[in-house]
């Protein structure tokens, strides 16, 4: 559970540093998540807009302090719902998507916290922009008055994550962005060493998915 994850983080004895743990609740029913909500945890991650809408709409009204993170691919035709429901989007990967989010934020009078997703391993099966294209996308987001906190990446699963975390941290620093969204259940200890601000942890908290 979350206590075990926090214990491992605290064992590193990193002064003045406490990453936010996003409990990745995708595919898990609400009854599995309720104990963590009652415990007082605030950050939750979902991959799909429709699943999140069905699962979190009522809870978010009852507990507006909960912070909901979209960590999966966002299609432009789902932006309206995503802006109304989520507080963070970690998967902005195109100018088209950025423009759609900006337009919808104006309509809904709401401003989300965003991360640009980088395809750090240049893997054809993964979403995200190439690291060499990040500057251009960030410039476009700035012109749209979007609130970009930093970069997000998913390293290749079969290679050491540290090299990729190092690259993404250096790029984040170069761009003068303050936050990093890196680290999952299999590599979060490495991500902590690179001062990740948001750890996306699912199986370490909820167990294996069916």
CATH of the domain at 85: 3.20.20.10
Q: How much is the average pLDDT of 57-81?
A: 96
- 113 phi and psi angles, rounded to 5 deg: -95, 130
**Stretch 39-43: mean pLDDT, rounded?**
93
Strand-pair partners of 147: 113
The pLDDT of residue 16 is above 80: no
Question: Do 180 and 170 form a contact (C-beta atoms < 8 A)?
Answer: no
pLDDT of residue 198: 96
Whether 14 has a pLDDT exceeding 80, the answer reads no
Q: Which pLDDT value is given to residue 13?
A: 46
Burial class, 66, CB count within 10 angstroms (exposed 0-12 / middle 13-18 / buried 19+): middle
Q: Which domain holds residue 21?
A: 2-206
Reported confidence tier of residue 18, pLDDT bands at 50, 70, 90: confident
Phi, psi of 134 (to 5 degrees): -65, -45
Separation CA 144–CA 155 (nearest Å):
29
Q: How far apart are CA 164 and CA 75, in angstroms?
A: 26
pLDDT-derived band at 150, boundaries 50, 70, 90 = very high
Phi, psi dihedrals of residue 32, rounded to the nearest 5°? -75, -25
Total count of domains within the chain: 1
């Amino acid at each position: 559970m979350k206590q075990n994850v926090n214990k491992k983080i605290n064992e590193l004895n990193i002064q003045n540093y406490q990453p936010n743990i996003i409990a990745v609740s995708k595919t898990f029913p609400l009854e599995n998540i309720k104990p963590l909500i009652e415990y007082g945890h605030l950050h939750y991650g979902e991959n799909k807009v429709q699943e999140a809408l069905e699962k979190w709409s009522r809870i978010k009204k009852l507990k507006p302090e909960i912070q909901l993170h979209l960590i999966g691919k966002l299609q432009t035709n789902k932006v309206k719902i995503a802006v109304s429901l989520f507080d963070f989007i970690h998967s902005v990967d195109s100018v088209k998507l950025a423009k759609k989010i900006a337009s919808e934020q104006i309509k809904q009078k709401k401003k989300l916290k965003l991360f640009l997703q980088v395809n750090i391993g240049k893997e054809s099966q993964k979403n995200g922009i190439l690291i060499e294209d990040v500057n251009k996308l960030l410039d476009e987001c700035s012109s749209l008055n979007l609130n970009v906190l930093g970069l997000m990446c998913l390293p290749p699963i079969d290679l050491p994550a540290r090299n990729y975390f190092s690259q993404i941290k250096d790029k984040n620093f170069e761009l003068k962005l303050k936050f990093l969204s890196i680290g999952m259940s299999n590599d979060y200890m490495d991500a902590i060493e690179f001062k990740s601000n948001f750890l996306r942890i699912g199986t370490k908290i909820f167990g294996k998915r069916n």
